[in-house]
Amino acid sequence: MNTPLEHDYAPGCDLYDRFLGSVLFEPYAIDLASRVADLTEGSVLEMACGTGIVTQQLRTRLKPSVALTATDINPGMLDYAQKKLKQLKRIDWRQADIANLTFSDASFNAVLCQFGLMFVPDRNRAVQEMRRVLVNGGMLAVSVWDRMDANPWGVAVHNTIEKLFPDNPPQFFKAPFNFADADVLRTLLNANGFDQITIQPVSMECRSNFARSLAIGMIEGAPILAEIQERGGSSGPIVDAVANAFGQLGGDSPFQTTMQAIVVTARAKGR
């Protein structure tokens, strides 16, 4: 069974990027990239780069002397990101599995992963790999979504879809919020060679010009579309229902609510 990271996003990459990128991901990408922007030399690895939202922020903030490698397990996403950011130089694009990296030990001075770790089946192995490719003292910066109830947009879309499929509801929108336990995160990092761990809830505004465009991105630009189609559904009525729920939550135009992620930073302990 494919994980959401492996799912073929290619048909929906543009919808994902246009309608979700600036709303959900870019605000946190700016935050995450700023945490390593003071590097003056060495190399940075980005995992689960998706359509290149964090990649763009990294390359424009990092000094030219800092090498940047952007990876994703999904070739469709990686191809989209590479084409979208073709004007940016000094990015090494690689297809890579977070839990099975092909890079040498101690290859990078910083490793980042935005909203990817919660989708990895073997998180322990993924964190081991992050530590393996970091130099001693290297920085790890990871963001995951906080609980669903801290993200009203997630509650709205999940509950709407559950009502439309009461007997066998699609489960995708539970996945982004299933790694929101600070104690679990801290234990995982401590056990795999990290210290100086900080775990910070970060709240931001979630704003879209139109509730409907956000709904289109959520349904037609995400893996949940496959689950809907497997159940005999089509995207149109689902988009309508989610757009209506978003409108009730935060207005039709503009749509505005809150969102919250957990941002984790740590240092690789010496060996």
Q: Is the dihedral of CA 172, 177, 181, 186 positive or negative?
A: positive
CA distance 118 to 180: 9
Among 3.40.50.150, 3.90.550.10, 3.90.110.10, 3.50.50.60, name the CATH number for the domain at 10-268: 3.40.50.150
Question: Per-10-residue mean pLDDT for the chain, 271 residues long?
Answer: 44 91 98 96 97 98 97 95 96 97 98 97 97 98 98 97 94 94 97 98 98 97 92 94 98 98 96 71
CB 70 within 8 A of CB 55: yes
Residues 6+ apart with CB under 8 A from 210: 252, 253, 254, 255
Q: To which residue do tokens 């997630």 refer?
A: 154
143: nearest Cα among 175, 115, 120, 122: 115
Taking only the tens place, the pLDDT of each residue in 157-166 is 999 999 999 9
d(CA 165, CA 148): 19
pTM flag (> 0.85): yes
CB 193 within 8 A of CB 129: no
Residue 241 neighbours by CB under 8 Å, 6+ apart: 160, 161, 163, 164
For 54-75, write each residue's pLDDT tens digit: 999 999 999 999 999 999 999 9
Q: What is the pLDDT of residue 3?
A: 46
